[in-house]
Amino acid sequence: MQLTRTTSTGLATLGALLLAACPSSSRADLLGMESEDQNAQYLFRFFADADRVHVVSHYGFYDVALENDVDVSVHVNHEAVTIPAVEAPPGSDDAIDAVTTASRPIQGADAFEDFTKVRNEVQAAAAYRGLDLGYYVSTESDYFAQQAAVEYSLKMDRENLVLTGGVSYGWDRIEPLQDADTSTPDDHRNTTHGHFVVTRVLTPTTLLRVGAEMNKVEGLQHNPYRNVYAGGGPEPELHPDERLRRDLFVRVNQYVSNGSSVKLAYRYYADDWGIDSHEMGAKLHQHVGEWVDVRYRYRYYRQTAADFYRAEYETADGIDGYRTGDYRMRDMTSHLFGSRLDLDLGVFAPQSRWLSSFEIGFGYERYFNDANFSANVFESGLHFEF
């Protein structure tokens, strides 16, 4: 399940909802162009983990191919994340997460209520002969984000070689909710991103992709709700307000003649906080007959610690004034195992076009690391195409 930031406010959202609500014959008319091909989809997802955190998501997708090689797409997501209540008053030791040291969220005056956070998101994109333009906007009760992106792909050697470069800029506004345990002022986070990717068809069944990415992040980068035990008492978490992140990756996709494909991936990451990591993964996708797909995955991850991470801080100043209670800042090794089953409901009535428009999916993932954290993640989804 993707836990993405989301929104349903602003002119971009209004336009997306108008497009989704219009009959298919009139959507292209709103754009003033003739439609050649259209596709609308709805996806419902339910996610739950072993700690009873669950996420309900409603996705809407609309894509249309217009005349003159123009493609337009609008994606909308409404998502609710629910964290179970803890039987403890706000600010008490029992209300602190043992792994992340973050204060558990409290909703309203009742410290024992489940906490629900709603996220809404809109993404719009337009493509023309290799040039892609995109805009993203999202909102939560304490977070508002926007991003603009541009990407260009150049096809060469009869489309067996594709060079792709892109940049994006994101500007976020952060307004932490205030409670007895938190007094963080409003802040911002700006992200400048660039990437370059080379995709090469090696054989009719083998695809190679090599790429590099760079992100410069400025602004608030710690959890405004998390405290750190430093100098014998709780202190607010504090990370540097600038971070330069770089990574290189290699991916190989191999089709196997028995209706399956194998994907192998390696990624090296480094930043100026002292973290560098290696990530290796493998995925197997098996097509079983006409109606069933089965997927398996494994991922290994290893990283070094941030320069300012310590298991214990002797003074309230931490290291050079920085403190972290985020276990993801420590040296760490993790493993992820997963499987997924997707079933086209047309298997029960092959002649029914209506039933063939539905697909259900079930997934399970097991994650664990050497930072004493593990999770069982269950996911189910219903996909409808019309």
Non-local CB neighbours of 35 within 8 Å, separated by 6+ positions:
27, 28, 64, 65, 66
pLDDT in tens, 290-327: 889 999 999 999 999 999 999 999 999 999 999 999 98
**Section 50-75 average pLDDT:** 90
CB 108 within 8 A of CB 181: no
**Section 334-360 average pLDDT:** 87
CB 182 within 8 A of CB 103: yes
Q: Checking DSSP bridges between strand 227-230 and strand 242-256, what pairing results, if any?
A: unpaired
pLDDT in tens, 170-222: 999 999 887 645 567 899 999 999 999 999 999 999 999 999 999 999 999 99
pLDDT in tens, 98-139: 444 444 454 444 556 777 889 999 999 999 999 999 999 999
CB 233 within 8 A of CB 227: no
Q: Checking DSSP bridges between strand 373-385 and strand 35-49, what pairing results, if any?
A: antiparallel
pLDDT at 87: 59
Phi, psi dihedrals of residue 273, rounded to the nearest 5° = -95, 0
pLDDT at 23: 37
Average pLDDT of the chain, as a whole number? 84
Residue 340 has a CB neighbour count (10 Å cut-off) of: 18
pLDDT at 47: 85
Is residue 357 very low, low, confident or very high in pLDDT (cuts 50, 70, 90)?
confident
7, pLDDT greater than 60: no
How far is residue 147 from each of residues 10, 19, 216, 340, measured CA to CA in Å?
14, 21, 14, 31
- Contacts for 9-12: CB closer than 8 Å, 24+ residues apart: 9/120, 9/137, 9/139, 10/137, 12/122, 12/124, 12/135, 12/137
Q: Which residue has the tokens 């955190």?
A: 53
pLDDT at 230: 92
Which residues is 245 bridged to in the sheet? 215, 271
Is residue 349 very low, low, confident or very high in pLDDT (cuts 50, 70, 90)?
confident
285, pLDDT greater than 80: yes
Percentage of residues of the chain with pLDDT beyond 90: 60
Greater pLDDT, 295 or 29:
295
Least confident of 174-188, 337-351, 356-370: 174-188
Q: What is the pTM of this model?
A: 0.81
Total count of residues recorded for the chain:
386
Q: Which two tokens stand for residue 244?
A: 């330069």
